[in-house]
């Protein structure tokens, strides 16, 4: 399995989002998508293009990301992270998407599974969101404290520490996911292992 590679893909995409010409955290700036008619045709693929080399180089089995709603907070940057990760998932295995990247040993890579993180609750003080249905329930009880400490390592998120820990308590010992795509036709099933049916290279 390559869980580290999956994490690298998602974190790299998040970095791309923060480098876009706008951010929800920067008052006064407008989304690039609103700058000119048709801007999305250049702006959206750009984020995906920058993500593809990571998928093709790391060659993960699974990609985990936010749902397009932006997670439980509905954060706009999280939504765009989802969009870029989803496009990278679908395009990384296609030789007609940015073929100029296919050199120096880099080949198309078809990721086997794409999951969106989801929850079984919403926040009353946030805008309305529509969450992806739960298809996988993972027991992470013994890692909850590690997760809290990892979040606390993000100094820029310090104002959100109390809120984050409240959500961790609400989630209990389970992480919830939605299987958004797979590399072969199948029916939706309930899972307790994200690596179920993943084939080793």
Exposed / middle / buried, residue 192 (Cβ in 10 Å: 0-12, 13-18, 19+):
exposed
Domains of the chain: 3-23+32-182 (3.40.50.10320)
The pLDDT assigned to 193 comes to: 92
Cα separation, 24 vs 30, whole angstroms: 8
Q: What is the pLDDT of residues 29-43, one digit of tens each?
A: 333 333 333 343 455
Q: What is the pLDDT of residues 122-164, one digit of tens each?
A: 888 888 999 999 999 999 888 888 888 888 888 888 887 887 7
pTM (two decimals): 0.76
The pLDDT assigned to 44 comes to: 59
Q: What is the pLDDT of residues 158-181, one digit of tens each?
A: 887 887 787 777 777 899 999 999
């Amino acid at each position: 399995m390559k869980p580290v590679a999956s994490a690298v893909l998602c974190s790299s995409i998040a970095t791309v989002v923060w480098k876009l010409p706008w951010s929800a955290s920067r008052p006064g700036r407008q989304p690039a998508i609103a700058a000119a008619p048709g801007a999305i045709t250049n702006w959206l693929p750009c984020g995906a293009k920058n993500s593809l080399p990571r998928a093709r180089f790391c060659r993960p089995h699974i990609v985990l990301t936010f749902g397009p709603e932006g997670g439980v907070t509905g954060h706009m940057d999280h939504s765009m992270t989802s969009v870029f990760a989803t496009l990278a998932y679908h395009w990384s295995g296609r030789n007609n998407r940015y073929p100029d990247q296919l050199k120096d040993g880099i080949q198309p890579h078809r990721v086997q599974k794409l999951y969106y993180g989801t929850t079984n609750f919403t926040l009353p003080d946030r805008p309305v969101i529509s969450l992806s249905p739960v298809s996988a329930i993972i027991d992470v009880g013994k890692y909850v404290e590690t997760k809290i400490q990892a979040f606390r390592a993000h100094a820029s998120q310090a104002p959100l520490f109390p809120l984050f820990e409240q959500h961790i308590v609400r989630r209990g010992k389970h992480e919830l996911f939605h299987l958004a795509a797979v590399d072969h036709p199948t029916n939706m099933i309930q899972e307790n292992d994200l690596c179920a049916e993943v084939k080793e290279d």
